[in-house]
Amino acid sequence: MCKLQTISLYIHIPWCLKKCGYCDFYSYVSKDNIPEKKYIEHLLKDFEQDLRLINNREINTIFIGGGTPSLLKASSIKQLIYGLKERALVSKNAEISIEANPKTMEYKRFIHYKNAGVNRFSLGIQTFNSNLLQKIERTYDSKEAINAIKESKKIINNLNLDLMYGLPDQILEDTLLDLKNAIKHNPSHISWYQLSIEPNTPFYSKKIKLPHEDLIFKMLIQGEKLLEKSGYKKYEISSYSKPNYQCQHNLNYWNFGDYIGIGCSAHGKITQKNGKVLRTLKNKNINDFLHGNYLNSIHSVSQKDQVFEYFMNVFRLYKPVLKKHFREKTNVNEIVIKNQIQIAIKNGFLTNKKNYWYTTKKGKFFLNLLLEIFLN
């Protein structure tokens, strides 16, 4: 029998004001009014169905993501959070995050989000450079981005800013200036992503040109230094935080913890008492979802895949990987992966200590190559 720990909850809100050319997250622009009341009712029913799988476990973090959840009325967010709390045990100090687009900033509505229980805002700033914002098809300018931060700070102290680097035609100075501008506002957390061009996005079809990889590497090295110097500790490939402000919801993913995923396209990972790990995927189609067809697929993950998924997550973190943690989370003894570990060490990707493994600088830089070793 496996000891079940607390669980996280992800909620997907699939609407956006406009689809950005680089984005492959599941969202779309609605021509009509968003059917938010109906959607929340279905989210709660979807939640009820998943509760059968979690054995009354306490919910430790909630993340309302998208799409653009900040398009929703405060009354909808309240209906959602209260509805969840009526149906399941949510920890008293649960981290409850909402993602927001600066264009949707409205002081009064955001205060009501907080009153409904939200205690962490994540603002998708991307860059403070108005020309670059236009180039990546965002719908606000630098002034609106700064205003959204200032207003958010009046409401909440746990604030994340999403920024991206390696944008088309961006130069090193632009990147560092973006970070300096973000740091000036003293957010508790900064997520700093390298722009990736994903298949099935307009940027991919248009063959948008990105800066040379040597320049991107320079941006990363100098940006990291600036963030660390300014009190933001790197704890994951793209995540930097002030002490005690790491994102608990994302940390749970990276520690290969369990989570429920509700709403269109959301995925979940739920361990059963017998040690079986279930993966759930919800329906993408909003009409199906609004007709009560929530689940797209559910399957149990093979041990081999569990090992791969485990490393895919924990190797993102900047901390040692305890062998005990590996055994607990995968139900696999490390003897089984002895050969792969040897290959990773030989390639200079991993260091092996008695109780833990540690990814080297090379291992972090060539994370895909390191992970490939565990595919075999």
What residue ranges bind ligand SF4 (CB under 6 A)? 16, 19-20, 23, 25, 27, 66-68, 101, 124
Q: With CB cut-offs between 5 and 8 Å by kind, which of ligand SAM, ligand SF4, none does residue 122 bind?
A: ligand SAM
Greatest pairwise CA separation for the chain in angstroms: 60
Cβ proximity to ligand SF4: between 67 and 211 the closer is 67
The residue at minimum Cβ distance from ligand SAM is 124
162 binds, among ligand SF4, ligand SAM, none (CB under 5 to 8 A by kind): ligand SAM
Of ligand SAM, ligand SF4, none, which one does residue 19 interact with (CB within 5 to 8 Å by kind)? ligand SF4
The total number of residues written for the chain in this structure: 376
Shortest distance, position 196 Cβ to ligand SF4, whole Å: 12
Contacts with 39 (C-beta within 8 Å, 6 or more apart), sequence order: 13, 263, 286, 289, 290
The sign one gets for the Cα dihedral 246, 275, 262, 114 is: negative
CB of 133 to ligand SF4, least distance (A): 12
Shortest distance in whole angstroms from residue 201 CB to ligand SAM:
7
Q: Which is nearer to ligand SF4, 110 or 235 (CB)?
A: 110
CB 197 within 8 A of CB 22: yes
Q: Give dist(CA 234, CA 331) in Å, integer.
A: 29
**Binding-site partner at residue 337 among ligand SAM, ligand SF4, none, CB < 5 to 8 Å by type:** none
Is the bond leading into 268 cis (omega within 30 degrees of zero)? no
Q: Which is nearer to ligand SAM, 274 or 368 (CB)?
A: 368
Closest C-alpha to 15, from 296, 294, 293, 290: 290
- Would you say 358 and 351 are in contact if contact means Cβ atoms under 8 Å apart? yes
Shortest approach of ligand SF4 to residue 9 CB, angstroms? 19
Instruction: Between 195 and 321, name the residue whose CB sits nearer to ligand SAM.
Output: 195
Q: Which residues pair with 12 in a beta bridge?
A: 65
Name the nearest CA neighbour of 17 among 6, 30, 4.
Answer: 30
Shortest distance in whole angstroms from residue 14 CB to ligand SF4: 9
Nearer to ligand SAM, 262 or 344 (CB): 262
Closest to ligand SAM by CB, 36 vs 344, is: 36
The footprint of ligand SAM (CB under 6 A) covers 10, 12, 22-23, 25, 65-66, 68, 97, 99, 101, 122, 124, 126, 160, 162, 164, 191, 193, 195-196, 198, 247, 250, 261, 265-267
Nearer to ligand SF4, 124 or 166 (CB): 124
Buried b (16+ CB within 10 A) or exposed e, 321-350: bebebbeebbeeeeeebeebbeebeeeebb
Element (H, E) at 132: helix 130-135
Residue nearest to ligand SF4 (CB): 23
Quote the tokens at residue 1.
Answer: 């029998």
- Beta carbon of residue 88, minimum distance to ligand SAM (angstroms, whole number): 17
Closest CA to 142 of 127, 120, 159, 122: 127
